[in-house]
Copies of this chain bind each other. A is one copy, B any other.
Amino acid sequence: MITVQPSASREDYLKAIYVLEDEGQGPVSTNALSERVQAKPASVSGMLKQLAEGGWVDHTAYRGVSLTAAGRGIAVDVIRRHRLWEVFLVDRLGFGWDEVHDLAEQLEHVEHAELMNRLDAFLGHPAFDPHGDPIPRSDGTVVDPRRLITADALLPGQSAVVKGVVDSSDGFLRHLDALGIGLGTAFEVSEWHGFDGSATIAGKGLWTAAVLRNLYVEING
C-alpha cells in the first residue's frame, strides 16, 4: 500500500526533520526527532518507515534520517504556511507574538491550492514572520539577505537592531515583552560585564547573557 498524501502528522515530522537537519549537520537521529515532535522513539521509528516508503526521506536503520528533494519541498511549504498564518494572526488579528504558535501549528495543515497565495497577497507578501524568521516563497526558495549575529557578539559602543530570536518559546517572548524588547528595537551596548556575561545597554539598563545570546541583531551602518 502506497501512502500518497502527507497527513498533518507526516507534515509535522517532515518540518521537524527539516529544522533539525538545518541546525545540526548530517542525518537526524530518531531521538532528536522524538524530542521535537513529542512522541516516543518507537513511534518515530514507525513513522520514518512510512515517510521512507512515501519517498519523502532517506532512512538507514540506526543511521538517522534525511529529507529527499520531495520531502524538503513539503517541509518548506509547511513552514511557509505556518509563517504566513502567524503574520495574519499577529498583524491582522492582534495576537501577541507569544500566542500564535499553537494556532499556526494547526492552520499550517489546511489543504488548499489557492489559499496561501491569496493570503500572501492579502498580507502584502511579507518577507518575515512575527519572530523574524524568513517566509519561504511559493517556489520553495528561502531568501534571507540579512547578516544576523547574536547580540552577545556585539562590541562595546556598537549599536544594532533586533531582527529575530534564537529561542522563540512563549516564555522568552513574554520576557522580551516585559523588557520592552521587540523586532525593530534599536540599542547600543555601553559596557560588557565579563563576570556574568550581561551588558549595560545605553538608556535601557542591564540585559542578561541569556537574553543577549537569544537575540538576532543586525549591526547599524
| Chain A residues packing against B (C-beta within 8 Å) | 92-95, 99, 102-103, 106-107, 110-112, 114-115, 118-119, 122
Contacts and interface: CB of A to CB of B under 8 A. Distances in A.
Given A99-B114, A106-B112, 5 more contacts: A95-B118, A103-B110, A103-B115, A107-B110, A110-B110
B106 A118 contact: no
A110 B118 contact: no
The 7 closest A-B pairs by CB, nearest first: A93-B118, A106-B110, A103-B112, A93-B122, A107-B110, A92-B122, A103-B115
11 contacts: A92-B122, A93-B119, A94-B118, A95-B114, A95-B118, A99-B114, A103-B110, A106-B110, A106-B111, A106-B112, A107-B110
**Chain multiplicity (copies):** 2
Nearest to A95: B118
A94 B102 CA distance: 27
A110 to B, nearest CB: 5
Contacts of A95: 114, 118
A115 B107 CA distance: 11
A162 B208 CA distance: 63
Nearest to A107: B110
A114 to B, nearest CB: 8
A3 to B, nearest CB: 20
Contacts of A111: 106
